Homo-oligomer: A and B are copies of this chain.
Amino acid sequence: MVEAPRNTRQRRAVVAILDDLDGFASAQEIHDILKQRGESVGLSTVYRSLQVLAEAAEVDALRNADGEVLYRQCSAGHHHHLVCRACGRTVEVEGPTVERWADRIAEENGFRDVAHTLEIFGTCDRCTSNRDLP
């Protein structure tokens, strides 16, 4: 039988941050924000909490171009992301055509246990207009 995770201050704090943020953020960024808010949580615990949440599909995880893992609280169901490289602001998008296409391609080539990654990166309008400021 699987044990329900305990309701600790630390895990609540991490979830609260994810609630507030609207874009993707790294574990280290979340750790910093927690420190700023005065409800410090150990870095290891931040990583562990995010892992658990990601496995439970309560948050989405993806890698940026530098290979860092970013996390975000998302709506349920399979979807993809349009992510601002600069600020992490994110738009959730659906691509039912893409899903079918990917599965068909995989099947045609005899691949099993298929998964796919699809993310769109760009610079959002806000960050574009904030260029070259002092």
User: A124, B97: Cβ atoms under 8 Å?
Assistant: no
Copies in the complex: 2
B98 engages A112 (CB within 8 Å): no
Q: Which segment, of A14-22, A43-51, A99-107, faces chain B?
A: A99-107
A123 to B117, CA, bound (A): 15
Most-contacted residue by chain B among A110, A119, A123 (CB, 10 A): A110
CB distance from A81 to the nearest CB of B (A): 10
Which A residues form the contact surface with B (CB < 8 A)? 63, 67, 69, 82, 84-85, 91, 93, 95, 97-98, 101-102, 105-106, 109-125, 128
Q: Nearest 5 pairs between A and B by C-beta?
A: A111-B122, A110-B125, A114-B122, A116-B120, A118-B118
